[in-house]
């Protein structure tokens, strides 16, 4: 920020490392991913074979907890009224929340709030009262599943636990019907549901175990790229069929994105319109990969998109009015439709090569660690 408070994009070189960092280099905001070992090659191969979003922005400027709220319900605001007034949850809950987190956290758990001027002005308990995409899907009788790790300290990546009517907290545990039916605490189950159980839901959210993610300092193997490739390969090679006899591959869209931009520099300024609340929207760009039998090879989208675009895509795909939540899904001006040439026959699936296979992940023990710490 320059002296006038205008985003000049000229201060990244001077941002220091956090106290948690060890051996942090100078000008850390300019770090890059080293692919000399080929560990991230699956991501490159996916982009070349399918679709890449060149202007995908994180909707919020903050960390993981509010970001996952946007991906699940198009806002991090405690209520719909707060969203319409530009008041959002802007940070994470403490690491030690006890039990399921969110509404089932210890009473001392708080998340900061931010106003339309971009000023954090208070805190609130991380239990919100508003509709989510899961509620819209239930109304349409579309099945859904949220795969993610539930830690003893709650974690901040299990978005449904912060929605009061989904969690229904009792003794610091979520007990609600939607929670019981829709939440799977083992991300590896998505591979079994695709390949052997034949229970792939209409919509699935998947957040990996810590050892299968991309967070710096937490991955000891090739982690995230192989994990993502294993899910894509499972869908493409699945022998399971839908009730109408169609294959999973011919009817599934896989959207891969990251919950925040990680604090690294990007020359592209976050756009403001059509997000009039200001303050907290939007953040910097994050990667976006779109995979389907109808995505042209090597397709690059230059449409401006954000987490609200993902929600709009799901709404449109299942006959729900786009923007039905009236949150970021209403403010986004794109819905990812450019990635799909539905007038063409489905492409034959070609597996993504990866150092680690689905068999490796299915035989691994959960790490018991949060997928990241910010």
> What average pLDDT score do residues 328-356 get?
94
pLDDT at 218: 57
Edge-to-edge strand list for the sheet holding 88-89: 88-89, 111-114, 120-124
Residue 270 DSSP class: P
Other beta carbons within 10 angstroms of residue 339's beta carbon come to: 26
> Is the pLDDT score of 252 beyond 90?
yes
Checking if the pLDDT of 277 tops 90, the result is no
Q: DSSP letter string over 7-48?
A: --S--GGGPPPPTT-SSPPTTGGG-----TTSTTHHHHHHHH
More confident residue, 238 or 157: 238
- Angstrom distances, CA of residue 318 to CA of 147, 206, 211, 233, 323: 20, 19, 33, 24, 13
For residue 149, what pLDDT is reported? 83
Task: Name the percent of the chain lying above pLDDT 90.
Answer: 61
Q: Give 4's pLDDT tier (boundaries 50, 70, 90).
A: very low
**DSSP-assigned letter for residue 278:** -
pLDDT at 365: 77
Predicted confidence (pLDDT) per residue in 169-215, tens digit: 999 899 999 999 999 988 999 999 999 999 999 999 999 887 787 77
Q: By the 8 A CB rule, do 186 and 147 touch?
A: yes
- What are the C-alpha distances in Å from 289 to residues 31, 254, 277, 298, 301? 22, 8, 28, 11, 10
State residue 138's pLDDT score: 98
pLDDT at position 210, please? 77
Q: What is the mean pLDDT of the chain?
A: 87
pLDDT score recorded for residue 151: 67
> Cα separation of 93 and 108, whole Å?
10
Residue 300 φ/ψ region, left for φ over 0, alpha for ψ in the -120 to 50 degree band, beta for the rest = beta
pLDDT of residue 273: 64
| The pLDDT value given to residue 18 | 60
Highest mean pLDDT among 31-45, 99-113, 172-186, 353-367: 172-186
Q: DSSP secondary-structure letter at 277?
A: T
Alpha-carbon distances of 156 from 84, 167, 285, rounded to whole Å? 24, 14, 21
Q: Which domains does the chain show, CATH number per domain?
A: 38-363 (3.40.720)
Is 295 or 273 the better-scoring residue by pLDDT? Answer: 295
**Per residue in 98-124, pLDDT tens?**
667 899 998 889 999 999 888 899 999
């Amino acid at each position: 920020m320059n002296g006038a408070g205008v985003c000049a994009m000229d201060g990244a070189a001077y941002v220091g490392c956090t106290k948690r960092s060890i051996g942090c280099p100078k000008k850390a905001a300019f770090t890059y991913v080293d692919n000399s070992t080929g560990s991230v090659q699956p991501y490159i191969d996916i982009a070349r074979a399918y679709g890449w979003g060149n202007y995908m922005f994180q909707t919020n400027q903050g960390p993981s907890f509010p970001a996952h709220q946007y991906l699940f319900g198009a806002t991090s605001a405690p209520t719909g009224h707060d969203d319409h007034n530009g008041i959002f949850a802007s940070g994470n809950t403490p690491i030690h929340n006890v039990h399921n987190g969110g509404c089932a956290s210890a009473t001392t758990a708080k998340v900061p709030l931010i106003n339309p001027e971009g000023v954090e002005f208070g805190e609130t308990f991380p239990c919100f009262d508003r509709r989510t995409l899961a509620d819209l899907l239930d109304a349409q009788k579309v099945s859904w599943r949220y795969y993610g790790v539930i830690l003893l300290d709650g974690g901040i990546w299990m978005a449904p636990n912060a929605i009061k009517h989904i969690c229904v907290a009792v003794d610091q545990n979520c007990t609600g019907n939607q929670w019981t039916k829709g939440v799977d605490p083992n991300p590896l189950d998505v591979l079994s549901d695709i390949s052997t159980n034949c229970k792939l839901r209409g919509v699935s959210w998947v957040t990996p175990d810590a050892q299968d993610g991309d967070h710096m300092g937490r991955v000891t193997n090739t982690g995230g790229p192989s994990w993502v490739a294993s899910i894509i390969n499972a869908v493409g090679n699945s022998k399971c069929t839908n009730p109408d006899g169609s294959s999973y591959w011919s009817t599934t869209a896989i959207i891969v994105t990251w919950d925040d931009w990680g604090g690294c520099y990007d020359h592209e300024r976050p756009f403001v319109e059509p997000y009039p609340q200001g303050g907290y929207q939007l953040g910097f760009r994050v990667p976006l990969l779109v995979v389907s039998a109808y995505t042209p090879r090597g397709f690059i989208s230059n449409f401006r998109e954000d987490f609200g675009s993902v929600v709009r895509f799901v709404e449109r795909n299942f006959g729900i009015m786009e923007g039905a939540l009236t949150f970021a899904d209403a403010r986004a001006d794109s819905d990812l439709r450019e990635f799909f040439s539905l007038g063409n026959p489905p492409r034959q699936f070609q597996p993504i090569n990866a150092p680690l296979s689905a068999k490796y992940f299915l035989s691994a023990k959960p790490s018991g660690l949060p997928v990241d710490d910010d």
